[in-house]
């Protein structure tokens, strides 16, 4: 049986469908705006193809496709690097400060906020959305479209930073109101939360120019603003659990606009990055496929759009007689391929995958694939 869902690189032809998916959250990384979506897709396609030469400037968009309905039902992203000279990574450090008066015998612990900037920041994983009617599917589609990013990072480890970052949404009002922004940022910019969040995608100069440089004591803010600092909103608690399970931790940094927490992890310590590996395909017979209960994300790359394709497939653990599962070949569009005289890497290990998945991906015996086992 063919895989009912496929994850692939987004292309310019996905504009209408991706715009529809973006409408469910309308975030700064994936705004529900046609012109923004068109620009995002153009940049993503150039990133996958290697037309954007500097990996730090690339942004990869992945789409989850219901193949029978020919419909995009989810998406996720990787941003090569946050923080450049023209667009710093802006965050707010959150730390405690203790005060004690011997005269009054009173002790206070204050939460203090301070805006920070980085011009050489982490790789960001973001843009995670699944259409509501697909969130309860037994295939755990939200997990698949989220995990595929870590598989891609492992496939091209040199393209990404040594730290990964995920920004989670905090509790927001149904109309999108951010109590922290209204209590703090709006006082210094006279902009709504939506206006500031959208502008920050393209230009963060106004933050450095208008925000206070010194510490701000959260105890001076209204209770409803204090209560959201570093807190995870209901819609992203599942993402928080997943991130913690694979090695991410709260960095005591938050988004300067809404107070949403930043979770970080050393790239090479993330469980899914460690677990992903390259292998030589060994398609199983239909009978073997039917008897196999374990599953994995299996991915291949191709020279033209959509550049990257991945399906959930029956899979058996590799045999290691042919080499290291961690070795891999250069990407066909890598602007800096290895020198022809460089030492060759060992052959990848062999892994067995479902017959239908092999057909879906166009792989045959010995074809190189990338694998991320699913628990």
Report the alpha-carbon distance of residue 129 to residue 145 in Å, rounded.
Answer: 9
Q: Which residues contact 112 (CB under 8 A, 6 or more apart)?
A: 94, 95, 96, 97, 215, 216, 217, 218
Beta bridge partners of 9: 62
In whole angstroms, what separates CA 168 from the centre of its chain? 11
DSSP, collapsed to helix, strand or coil, labels residue 96 as strand
Over the Cα atoms of the chain, what is R_g?
22
Three-state DSSP at 283 gives strand
Give the per-residue pLDDT at 362: 93
Q: Are strands 277-283 and 349-353 parallel, antiparallel or unpaired?
A: parallel
Among the four given CATH numbers 3.40.50.620, 3.65.10.10, 3.40.630.30, 3.40.50.10490, the one describing domain 5-92+115-271: 3.40.630.30
Instruction: Please say whether the beta carbons of 353 and 313 come within 8 A.
Output: yes
CA 33 to CA 209: how far, in whole Å? 27
Q: Which helix (H) or strand (E) holds 369?
A: strand 368-374
pLDDT score recorded for residue 275: 96
Residue ranges of alpha helices (H) inside 140-246 are 141-155, 179-180, 186-189, 193-202, 205-210, 223-226, 237-246
**In the prediction, which pLDDT does 100 show?**
95
DSSP-derived 3-state class of residue 270 = coil
Q: CB within 8 A of 168, min separation 6: which ones?
A: 232, 233, 236, 239, 240, 243, 260, 261, 262, 263
* pLDDT tens sequence for the chain (375 residues): 578 999 999 999 999 999 999 988 777 788 888 999 999 999 999 999 999 999 999 999 999 999 999 999 999 999 999 988 878 899 999 999 999 999 999 999 999 999 999 999 999 999 999 999 999 999 999 999 999 999 999 999 999 999 999 999 999 888 878 999 999 999 999 999 888 888 887 788 898 899 988 999 999 999 999 999 999 998 889 999 999 999 999 999 999 999 999 999 999 999 999 999 999 999 999 888 888 889 999 999 999 999 999 999 999 876 654 444 443 444 445 444 544 444 444 566 787 889 899 999 999 999 999 999 996
What's the whole-model pTM score? 0.89
Task: Decide if domain 275-374 falls under CATH 3.40.190.
Answer: no
Question: What's the rounded Cα separation, in Å, for the pair 371 and 367?
Answer: 12
* Cβ atoms 125, 166 nearer than 8 A: yes
Say how far residue 187 (Cα) sits from the centre of its chain: 31
* pLDDT of res. 103: 96
Q: How many residues does the chain have?
A: 375
Count CB neighbours of 55 within 10 A: 19
Is residue 338 within 8 Å of 315, Cβ to Cβ?
no
- Answer whether 5-92+115-271 and 275-374 agree in fold: no
pLDDT of residue 65: 98
Domain ranges for the chain, please list them: 5-92+115-271, 275-374
The per-residue pLDDT for 93 is 97
Residue 174 CA to chain centroid, in angstroms?
A: 24
Q: What is the pLDDT of residue 202?
A: 78
The closest of 29, 66, 373 to 168, measured between CA atoms, is 29
Answer yes or no: are the C-beta atoms of 92 and 116 closer than 8 Å. Answer: yes
Asked whether the beta carbons of 84 and 66 are under 8 A apart, the reply is no
């Amino acid at each position: 049986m063919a895989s009912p869902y496929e994850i692939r690189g987004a292309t310019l032809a996905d504009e209408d469908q991706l715009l529809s998916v973006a409408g469910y959250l309308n975030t700064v990384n994936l705004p529900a705006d046609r012109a923004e979506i068109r620009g995002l897709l153009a940049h993503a396609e150039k990133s996958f193809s290697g037309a954007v030469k500097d990996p730090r400037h690339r942004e990869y968009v992945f789409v989850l496709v219901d193949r029978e309905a020919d419909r995009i039902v989810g998406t996720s992203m990787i941003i090569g690097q946050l923080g450049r000279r023209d667009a710093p990574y802006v965050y707010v450090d959150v730390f405690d400060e203790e005060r004690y008066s011997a005269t009054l015998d009173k002790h206070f612990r204050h939460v203090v906020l301070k805006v920070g900037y980085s011009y050489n920041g982490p790789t960001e994983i973001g843009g995670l959305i699944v259409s509501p009617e697909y969130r309860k599917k037994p295939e755990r589609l939200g997990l698949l479209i989220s995990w595929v990013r870590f598989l891609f990072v492992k496939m091209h480890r040199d393209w990404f930073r040594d730290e990964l970052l995920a920004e989670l949404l905090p509790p927001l009002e149904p109309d999108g109101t951010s109590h922290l922004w209204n209590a703090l940022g709006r006082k210094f910019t006279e902009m709504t939360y939506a206006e500031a969040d959208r502008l920050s995608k393209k230009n963060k100069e106004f933050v450095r120019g208008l925000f206070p440089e010194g510490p701000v004591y959260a105890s001076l803010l209204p209770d409803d603003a204090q209560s959201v600092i570093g807190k995870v909103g209901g819609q992203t608690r599942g993402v928080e659990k997943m991130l913690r399970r694979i090695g991410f931790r709260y960095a005591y940094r938050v988004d300067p606009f809404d107070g949403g927490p930043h979770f970080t992890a050393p790239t090479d310590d993330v469980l899914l990055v460690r677990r992903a590996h390259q292998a030589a395909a060994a398609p199983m017979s239909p009978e073997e496929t039917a008897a196999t209960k374990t599953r994995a994300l299996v991915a291949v790359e191709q020279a033209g759009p959509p550049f990257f394709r991945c399906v959930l497939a029956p899979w058996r653990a590799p045999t290691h007689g042919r080499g290291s599962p961690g070795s891999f070949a250069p990407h066909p569009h890598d602007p800096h391929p290895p020198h022809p005289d460089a030492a060759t890497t060992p052959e990848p290990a062999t892994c067995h995958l479902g017959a239908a998945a092999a057909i879906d991906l166009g792989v045959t015996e010995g074809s190189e694939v990338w694998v991320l086992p699913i628990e």
